[in-house]
Amino acid sequence: MAEIETGVYVSRTDPDEWEPDDEVGGSAHMLFDHGATKAGLWRAGPERPGSPVEVEIPSRETIVVLEGSVRVGVNGELTLDLARGDMTSVPEGARITWDPDPDCKVFWMYS
């Protein structure tokens, strides 16, 4: 990630620039991080544990599925089966269950 001018970010997703995602497994590549506002790419990969992970969303999260698929449970009441090209946005404080397939890659943003 590089801030090339105030508030303008550019990033190339070189394989070496992905970092482990301690929250849900897999790995992430950050585009920017401004406290509650963040964006980047996430992929499952072989290091992702095979079981679903439940997390509480710290701010609104918007997801665009780029590859593969993911099952997202929202607050134990709704299940979304998302595949390539699908988008969703869940509110701050939602408890989601994240269950991606091994080929899953998404663009995500907290806002």
The CATH number of domain 2-110 is 3.30.2400.10: no
Q: What is the pLDDT of residue 100?
A: 94
Tell me, yes or no, if the pTM score tops 0.95.
no
Domain boundaries, the chain: 2-110
Going along 1-111, which residue ranges are E strands?
2-5, 8-10, 19-20, 27-34, 37-43, 53-56, 61-67, 69-74, 78-83, 87-90, 95-100, 105-110
pLDDT tens digits, the chain, 111 residues: what are they?
667 677 787 777 776 778 888 888 899 999 989 888 999 999 998 766 678 999 999 999 999 999 999 999 999 999 999 999 999 999 999 999 999 999 999 999 999
